[in-house]
Chain A
């Protein structure tokens, strides 16, 4: 249990990597087999190379799992709570909300709002943050929408300023 806490991020990363060979063998047995490309010669077998990589990764995972279990890795990776961890978590949450809202309310509403909120979160005074958020959003939109002709998400209001 103590090992799990001391090497928490090592174990999370290990599980992330362990999911890869599992997914490869599962997909080879299901999706690729259904498409008829999980066997045969090298040109017709789309599973041959993924399976080879998966086998190598299993070997590496066994070795690395042993190293972590026996505490033979250089750095412990426990979960920590630093000065800004709360803000980092909040920023991630805000960013997810931004990605969800972006297609609905459009870039020109969502971006000044998220920028201003982040500026405030990081300690900028609210009035300055709002001005900064609007200025930042407008300037990047000018470059991408105005100069590079990128169609930014217009949302349900259909707002597009520079195209």
Chain B
């Protein structure tokens, strides 16, 4: 564990990496504060910039946006009763009532401090467990990797918001998109329809930007209210939040652990962990603490959990290559495109990159604490920026960022097509995250599936002859049964399980 950190120090402690990590946290906070955007959008918008940077500063910047964005959503939840991101939905239960009672400054201070400390606790667990899990994964051969890829797809389908059946279809679309281009084994062109631009497949980033950023711009324009400026309490710089949090030590630790645990389960995500953590804190609290009526403990519980989730989500992502949520799926995509493969290889062959990523994660949380408290007065101003200014900026950044990937106008058309696809799928309540996870896990699944068949003397039996592969496939089968039961239940009483997609 310390060896990894030692390896990462020279790469991470450079002026460029530190500056980009700090800028990433600040950008993440701003984008998280703005309702409708969030850490995923921040990562998506800055992904093209990352490709022009060395690997550790690039990953540092993206991880910092992930951390900052996950915390930023709480600020609009507290000040406006509108969570900046779904992760902060539970924060408004007590954050907004605190603001209504004239304690907005305390609530924001508590949210930022709890996020940073929760994130640090998640980071320490990440640092401890990732190498162990990666070490275990050294025993994996093609059948195990194929079974793990199926596990990743099934879990994201099961726990994504909306119907698991629709989640599986979205995952299937991702798998198919990953097939487009040149087949690795035969060098044949697959599903390119004679278009040479598709010989390497659609670019992952163009697909991500289209699905998430472009469809979001259209949704926001449909929503109207372009010139609305909310009235917001003025915030100052105060360290009181940091002092206040000391009286919630146990709640903080417990919530961060809950967040990390749920983060490590692929697909569970920060919003689930925040609600569970809030419910646990409320159940264990004394009645006079007034949960739901402006209890500081409620803000601590949700924010420590949703940032703890970030560390947890990176555990399976880095050690097994199985993303924990949509944001980590895009982070994994960035790592792939920078030329590094998550899993045991990352720890064995390039420990300096793994160490640099860990350091970036830990440092981002420290920077979050400092910037979150210092920039508090600035957040109110950000929230007053009308949508009429923001949406064209997001559109132009998406366009230029996507173009810059390969200096290709074709990528912009890919982005547009997936913007339309993303819009249609969101209107039909399909989750989008499984598409990205399918695109990332697709090559892992296909290559290992075909390699396993080659190794096998008896067709598919290789998958059940090997104990680890058989165990993972048994878990896959259980998840499939859970999906079938959930689908039947939702079909019997569909209204009861209504929810919005990602």
Interface residues of A (CB under 8 A from B): 9-10, 12-13, 16-17, 20, 23-24, 27, 31-32, 35-37, 41-44, 46, 48-50, 53, 56-57, 60-61, 63-64, 67, 70-75, 77, 82-85, 87-88, 91-92, 95-96, 98-99, 102-103, 107, 111, 114-115, 118-119, 122-124, 132-133, 136-137, 140-141, 143-144, 148-153
- Minimum CB–CB distance from B389 to chain A (whole Å) comes to 7
In the assembled complex, 13 residue pairs joining A and B whose CB atoms fall closer than 8 Å, in A order, are: A10-B428, A13-B425, A13-B430, A20-B173, A37-B188, A53-B172, A64-B166, A87-B222, A91-B217, A95-B416, A98-B399, A111-B396, A141-B400
Q: Which of B176-191 contact A (CB under 8 A)?
A: 176, 179, 183, 185-186, 188-191
Contact of A85 among B222, B407, B412 (CB under 8 A): B222
A9 touches B424 (CB 8 A): yes
Instruction: Give the distance in Å from the alpha carbon of A107 to the alpha carbon of B173 in the complex.
Output: 33
CB neighbours of B498 from chain A (8 A): 74-75
The 8 Å CB contact of A20, one of B172, B189, B391, B413, is: B172
Please tell me if the beta carbons of B169 and A102 are within 8 angstroms of each other in the complex: no
Asked if A118 contacts B391 (CB within 8 A), the reply is: yes
C-alpha gap A124/B391 in the complex (Å): 12
Q: Given A122-B387, A122-B388, A148-B404, answer yes or no on A46-B188 (Cβ-Cβ < 8 Å).
A: yes
Known: A20-B172, A27-B191, A92-B420. 14 other contacts (CB 8 A): A10-B429, A42-B450, A48-B450, A57-B169, A82-B223, A83-B222, A84-B221, A91-B218, A103-B409, A114-B392, A115-B392, A132-B389, A136-B396, A144-B404
**Residues of chain A lying within 8 A (CB to CB) of residue B430:** 13
Given contacts A27-B191, A31-B189, A73-B163, contact A57 B172 (CB under 8 A): yes
In the assembly, what is the distance between CA of A83 and CA of B446, in Å? 45
Contact of A50 (CB < 8 Å), options: B190, B222, B386, B499: B190
Chain A residues in 8 Å Cβ range of B399: 98
Find A64's partner among B169, B185, B190 (CB 8 Å cutoff).
Answer: B169
Tell me the dominant secondary structure on chain A's binding face: helix
Q: Which residues of B contact A12 (CB under 8 A)?
A: 424, 428
Residue B421 at the A interface, CB < 8 A? yes
Out of A50, A124, A137, which one reaches B179, CB within 8 Å? A50
Q: Quick check: is B224 within 8 A (CB to CB) of the other chain?
A: yes
List, in ascending order, chain B residues with CB within 8 A of A17's CB: 169, 172-173
Whether the pair A119, B163 counts as a contact (CB closer than 8 A) is: no
Interface string of B389-412 (1 = CB under 8 A from A): 101110111011101100101001
Contact check, B222 vs A82: say whether CB atoms are below 8 A apart: yes
The chain A residue sitting closest to B409, CB to CB, is: A103
Enumerate chain A residues within 8 angstroms of B413, measured Cβ to Cβ. Answer: 99
Chain B residues touching A, range = 35 or more
User: Inter-chain contact count A-B, CB under 8 Å?
Assistant: 200
Which residues on B sit within 8 Å (CB–CB) of A150? Answer: 52, 400, 403-404, 407
The 8 A CB mask of B335-364 against A (1 = contact, 0 = none) is 000000000000000000000000000000
> Restricting to B444-489, which residues have a CB under 8 Å from any CB of A?
445-446, 449-451, 453-454, 487
Interfacial chain A residues near B494, Cβ < 8 Å:
71-74
Pick the 3 closest A-B CB pairs, nearest first: A83-B224, A122-B388, A42-B453
Other-chain residue from A43, A114, A124 in contact with B389 (beta carbon distance below 8 A): A124
B192 vs chain A, min Cβ distance (A): 8
Determine whether the beta carbon of B395 is less than 8 Å from that of A95.
yes
Judge whether A60 and B429 touch: CB under 8 Å. no
The answer to whether A32 touches B188, judged by C-beta atoms less than 8 angstroms apart, is yes
B446 close to A49 (CB less than 8 A): yes
Contact call A119/B389, Cβ cutoff below 8 A: yes
CA of A44 to CA of B222, assembled, Å:
49
- Check A148/B52 contact, CB under 8 A, given A50-B176, A119-B388: yes
